[in-house]
């Protein structure tokens, strides 16, 4: 797609969790709703039917059920994996800019999400270390 390194250095947090009751994440890209699959401090992946334009950054808004505010910024598509059906394609996106305190708010949201879906009890510090730490995969 382009020369942006598509391998995230931070842990990807799966937020599409049908088996676990946790507050959902909602994504809007250039005014259109998209299903978000995973989020990290460096980017996110979303379900799309066709390959998005990877040459131009786009505006995004990320919200979380039950959380105040929204995270806004700009992102750019860095990879696309075609799905078996039109609805199952996945676009990997790199966040190029967070507005205001968006990055810190994302740390808080992802830490709370990790603690909520973990199969073992985690402290707030342990959840944050997972979110802010290097990729484990």
Q: Within a domain: residue 123?
A: yes
Domain containing residue 73: CATH number = 2.40.10.430
Q: Which residues contact 136 (CB under 8 A, 6 or more apart)?
A: 11, 130
What is the reported pLDDT for 132? 85
Q: 3-53, pLDDT tens digit by residue?
A: 444 455 777 888 876 555 566 899 999 888 888 989 999 999 998 888 788
pTM: 0.83
Q: Within a domain: residue 72?
A: yes
Q: Within a domain: residue 137?
A: no
Q: Within a domain: residue 43?
A: yes
pLDDT at residue 115 is higher than 80: yes
Range of the domain at 71: 13-132
pLDDT at residue 125 is higher than 50: yes
Q: Within a domain: residue 8?
A: no
Q: Within a domain: residue 2?
A: no
Q: Within a domain: residue 105?
A: yes
pLDDT at residue 66 is higher than 90: no
Radius of gyration of the chain (CA): 14
Instruction: Please tell me the total count of domains within the chain.
Output: 1
């Amino acid at each position: 797609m382009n020369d942006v390194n598509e391998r995230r250095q931070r842990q990807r947090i799966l937020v599409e969790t049908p088996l676990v009751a946790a507050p959902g994440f909602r994504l809007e890209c250039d005014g259109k709703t998209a299903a978000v699959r995973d989020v990290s401090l460096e980017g996110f992946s979303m379900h799309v039917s066709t390959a998005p334009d990877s040459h131009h950054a786009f505006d995004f808004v990320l919200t979380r059920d039950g959380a105040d505010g929204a995270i806004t910024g700009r992102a750019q598509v860095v990879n696309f994996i075609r799905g078996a059906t039109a609805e199952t394609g996945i676009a990997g996106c790199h966040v190029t800019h967070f507005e205001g305190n968006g990055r810190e708010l994302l740390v808080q949201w992802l830490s709370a999400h990790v603690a909520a879906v973990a199969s073992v009890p985690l402290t707030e510090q342990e959840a944050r270390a997972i979110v802010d730490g290097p990729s484990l995969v």
